[in-house]
A and B are shown apart, each in its own frame.
Chain A
Amino acid sequence: MDNQQQLEILRDRFGPEIVEWKEQWGELTVVVKPEAIVRVCEFLRDEPGLEYNFLSSVTGVDLGVDANPRFEVVYHLYSIPQRHRIRLKVRVNEDQPVPTVTGVWKAADWYERETYDFFGVTFEGHPNLRRIMMPDDYEGHPLRKDFPLRGYRR
């Protein structure tokens, strides 16, 4: 299914919950409201013709210290039977939790932990939300833009 058709289906189903969409270099990006992310993901996974059964990755982007909302959480989805991709995004601030998608794809577990570790975005309902790369007693979130490259202690 091509990007336009997918976008049509999503807009029909989740009209007001879709904040923004964009097609660039043949890749479709859809920004949804944080509270709708689990429903959108379940729909994309279960809808015949879409069948996004494979979660490629979840990651974050810090849009800058002054940006509001400051963080983007980016989901890359892939459908093995249909061979198409989509990129979902939610935009949140530091104090705003994102509902977890670990119930939709188990693969989200470590990716959400990594996003929490690097950006400090919390995932509501995650079974084991703790740091994954940095030590447990580490302070700060290293991939934020205000985090110095060499860390705070030097």
Chain B
Amino acid sequence: MSDVLTEVKKSPLDSEIVLNMGPQHPSTHGVLRVLLKLDGERIVHAECEIGYLHTGMEKLAEYKKYNHVITITDRMDYLNSTGNNLGFVLAVEKMLQLDIPPRAQVIRVMLTELQRIASHSVWIATHGLEIGAMTLFFYGFRVREAVLQLIEAVCGGRMMPSYFRIGGLARDIPDGWTQRVRDFCDDFETQALKEFDTLLTENPIFRKRTEGVGVISAEEAIQWGMSGPCLRGSGVAHDIRRAHPYSGYETYDFDIPTRPEGDVWARYLVRVEEMRQSLRIVRQAVEKLPSGPVKADAPRIVLPDRHKMKTQMDALIYHFLLVSDGFPVPAGEVYQPIESARGELGFYIVSDGGPKPYRMHVRAPSFANLQALPKLIEGHLIADVVAIIGSIDIVLGDIDR
């Protein structure tokens, strides 16, 4: 009661108002709702409301066999679908103690890095658009389209490939695909990266909108559980590909870009540099691509090739068993982190020894990164909120799952 009275006595000029941003706001990258408490145009306090895109994927996974869960994972972070597939299959392979053939590992790395380039291109496109650099939107999506066509060529799916399977890949890459990847790399380096630099890095308006905005220190970023480019933009050189290599990342030569500033501009520069590093990895992968099988030699886990299934009795039996019953996974639990385009993507799987996960939890990178948003935007202007949300590169499908 007393609070209400003091509220009334205040002058209307210094009263605070609450502004509702989203969930249908175009710059919230989906359906994020942010409640902003404002003093004039400055943000005094902010709170995020999420869950509008919650689809119960963790629950759904408990009802599906391991091979079927792969198709759920790429619907979570739909901009980084091969990365999500990779995290899940690596977790299950760790439980099964499977050895993956080198050719499959190199193709996995190649596709994951191509997807990272695509994801960062979509990010640069939308981030630029929100800050007013409209041209970039078309340029960024053009890069992404080229990557999606490469993914479509290997598996038929564009956004939801489900191409990585437990024990390897669904099938080998088609003839001439590596040449297409080489051509893409050349085009991307000579054309797109230069355009990004010309349009944004040397753009004084963009720099004014981003430099010194949304600053977070390294300690704060770690406290809030931020990872990926957001953490590296605050000067912490942490990358799971380097700290805990998987899929043979230790054999590739690449740098971990960091910036000390911790603002929107730093996160932008880190991502642009990451695209260059991903390009390096893709090129090395194309060069070293070994020949050989793309599926592990584990007939009770990996589906046989189509022609074998049609011609060999034992392959037919295994195929029937795998499709009807699935395969049992030893009881226990595993946590497999990978470096997705947004940060630490972790799959925590509990198995009770059956053919379906007993529990699957996804440590979504965007979830933790978004958590720090109120801390990042407090004290800034409303227009900066758009720049800051863009700079942490959230995917609501990843957050809400």
Contacts and interface: CB of A to CB of B under 8 A. Distances in A.
Interface stretch (B11-19, B57-65, B154-162, B378-386): B57-65
B308 interface: no
A113 to B, nearest CB: 10
A80 B238 contact: yes
Contacts of A118: 58
Contacts, number: 86
Given A24-B332, A143-B59, A53 B222 contact: yes
Contact of A80 (B236, B335, B346, B368): B236
B312 to A, nearest CB: 33
Q: In this complex, which of B50, B56, B97, B350 has the most chain A Cβ atoms within 10 angstroms of its Cβ?
A: B56
A38 interface: no
A91 interface: no
Interface in B28-62: 50-51, 54, 56, 58-60
A72 B127 CA distance: 40
B59 A106 contact: no
A109 B371 contact: yes
A29 B236 CA distance: 27
A87 B335 contact: yes
A134 B54 contact: yes
Interface in A29-52: 29
Contact of B346 (A61, A76, A131, A133): A76
A56 B367 contact: no
Nearest to B367: A110
A34 to B, nearest CB: 19
Nearest to B363: A57
Nearest to B47: A128
A21 to B, nearest CB: 13
Contacts of B225: 54-56, 105-107
B381 to A, nearest CB: 24
A142 B59 CA distance: 8
B335 A133 contact: no
Determine chain B's interface SS by DSSP, over half rule: mixed
A17 interface: no
Contacts of A135: 51
State which size class the interface on A falls in. Answer: 20 to 34
Interface string A131-142: 111110000001
A85 B335 contact: yes
B334 interface: yes
Contact of B363 (A61, A62, A76): A76
Contacts of B344: 56, 78
A25 interface: yes
A27 interface: yes
A149 interface: yes
A83 B236 CA distance: 13
Interface in B328-359: 332-335, 337, 344, 346, 348, 350, 358-359
B337 A56 contact: yes
B318 interface: no
A93 interface: no
A59 B236 contact: no
A110 B51 contact: no
A151 B147 CA distance: 39
B363 A56 contact: yes
A109 to B, nearest CB: 6
Contacts of A121: none
B95 A54 contact: no
A62 B51 CA distance: 21
B371 A110 contact: yes
A74 interface: yes
12 contacts: A24-B333, A29-B333, A55-B225, A57-B361, A59-B361, A74-B348, A76-B348, A83-B244, A85-B335, A118-B58, A134-B54, A149-B60
Interface of B: 50-51, 54, 56, 58-60, 63, 94-95, 97, 222-225, 227, 236, 238, 243-244, 332-335, 337, 344, 346, 348, 350, 358-359, 361, 363, 367-368, 371, 400
Given A76-B346, A110-B367, A143-B59, 14 more contacts: A24-B333, A25-B94, A25-B332, A56-B225, A56-B337, A61-B359, A76-B335, A80-B222, A106-B371, A107-B225, A132-B51, A133-B54, A135-B51, A149-B59
